[in-house]
Structure 1
Amino acid sequence: MFENTYLTVKTDKYKEFSEAMLKHNEKYHTTGPYHANVWMVSTGYHPGSIVWSMGPCSFSHLDSRPTSKDHNEDWTENVMPNVERVIETGYWRRSDKISYMPDDSLFSKLLITVYDLAQWQEYRFKDIMGKVSEVYKANNTPHSFSVYFPAFDMPNGRDVAVVWGFKEYAVFDDDWKFKSQYEEAHGEGSWQKVMDEYRAIVKSSVDEIWEIMPGMMAPMKD
């Protein structure tokens, strides 16, 4: 699970925010479930916003998260004065059974598609994602494919997020031939069938691209 907080930085305080965020993460968020990554959103509803992401962790870990007086004062007195507003905070759990992570799973960019599903159709969506994951595994795809569900209800139809990790934008110039790969794995005619299923249960979707911001985060320590 990851705790993700979207922040809008004041336009005239970006330098101060970057410095304060780096110092905060270096001091309090370097290890294990409390390590924090920092991303910038480049497309979607909130372009230019910052995502502070802690994890992977569990709810049990949250009971022991950094909450010292020094920690809280550093966040409220040094980081937050440079923030125009907090857009949202959410807790997202990965469904490992229908996700695919290659051995080299460190990616500097993420394509995140957030879906609004028809009511009570999550089980059908999981079935589709499981079949897609099988295609990734069968072809040893070098990109990650992870499916996350919110631990609590989210606004604006944010029912599920599919996260695709990549390293270079040039990958979008490639012809993946995913349709043929899908039918190799699931049989002739299976692509049209899954597309019909998809259209029946997905109301809408929106893409976001996140890029890692190493200048605002600390390397993870053992």
Structure 2
Amino acid sequence: MKHVTKIVMYLFFGIVWSQENPTIMRGGYDKVLKGKDKIFQKNVASHVKKWHGAGQWNQFGWRVETGPRTGQYFIGTFNHYWKDFDERVTTKEHDNDWDRITNAYIDQDNEYAGSTFWSLLPEISYNSKSSTKIAVTFFYCEANAYQAMLGIMGKLRQANEKAKIDVSYNVYQIEAGGSNDVIAIVIQMDGYADMAPISPSLKDRYVAAFGEEVWLADYTTWTNGEKWSETEIMTFLPDISSPASE
């Protein structure tokens, strides 16, 4: 019961924190026309330098390295309140420049095109840091298991803290623009070497924190609640991204 109470408190205070802090991000995938990557990046870099610098509306870019979206770009803006998207004011010059880039270099025949909103869940994320690569796993969940799976992520954070494990990740939940009940775990990496198994294993950390019985119950909940998942690795592109905040 003590563990259950602690998880409930984690989630409750996390919800309060999220309401009072900017946790909303919006992003989408862009498929660049064949042979246009270099000039696309050059034009986006110029655009970002002029309109998305320090103190301006942030914009960050990654290039997808694995999976069906390999070669595409993920462009997103982070750390917003919902109202920011109502109150944002752009100039005609800005909008025309982005339209020019989109019309000249983006392949409109892209089944993965479209914008999605996500919210960061800092209360169940762990040891977040900046990184040169990320491994993003999307978990598509059964509706009746979704909240329980978020609770399991809260327990995993506690297990990681107890083990003092050297990993870093953020947890997001989808808000709009795609399938409902989706969790995204974004592992922050310095390179592909961080894909290697680590010790102690996830199971060993979980058992050490909560015991074998809880591990077996939560493992069953997770595996039964997961419809499917997919992972893609992305490389951060600082030249087409806003400068990091101080």
**Normalised TM-score (structure 1):** 0.90
Match of 2:82 among 26, 43, 59: 59
- Give the Å deviation of 1:123: 1.0
**Which range moves more in the overlay, 136-145 or 195-204?**
136-145
Give TM-score, length-normalised by structure 2. 0.81
Equivalent residue in structure 1 for 2:63, among 40, 44, 48: 40
Distance in 2, Cα, partners of 1:146 & 1:220: 17
How much has 1:158 moved relative to structure 2? 6.7
Which residue pairs with 2:167 in the alignment?
Answer: 143
Aligned to 1:167: 190
**Range 6-15 or range 183-192, more displaced:** 183-192
- Deviation of 1:122 (Å): 1.6
CA offsets 1:121-153 (integer angstroms, 9 cap, x no match):
221111111111112222333322221111215
Residues in 1 aligned to 2:54 and 2:87: alpha-carbon distance in whole angstroms: 13
Distance 1:208 1:111, change over 3 A: same
The code of the aligned residue for 2:241 comes to: M
- CA deviation string 1:14-65 (max 9, x = no partner): 1210111101111111235721111011123311100111112122222233
Structure 1 residue 109 corresponds to structure 2 residue 133: yes
* Structure 1 counterpart of 2:232: 208
Within 5 Å, give how 1:50-199 maps onto structure 2: 50-85=73-108, 87-102=113-128, 105-155=129-179, 159-176=182-199, 177-199=201-223
CA RMSD of aligned residues (A): 2.0
CA gap of 1:15–1:145, structure 2 versus 1, over 3 A, is closer
**Tell me, what secondary structure is at the counterpart of 1:9?**
coil
- Which residue in the other structure is 1:13 paired with? 36
Seq. identity, %: 23
Q: Which runs of structure 1 show a deviation greater than 3 angstroms over 4 or more consecutive aligned residues?
A: none
1:55 alignment partner, SS class: strand
Instruction: Please identify which structure carries the higher strand content.
Output: 1
Q: Which runs of 5+ in 2 are unaligned?
A: 1-23
Aligned length: 219
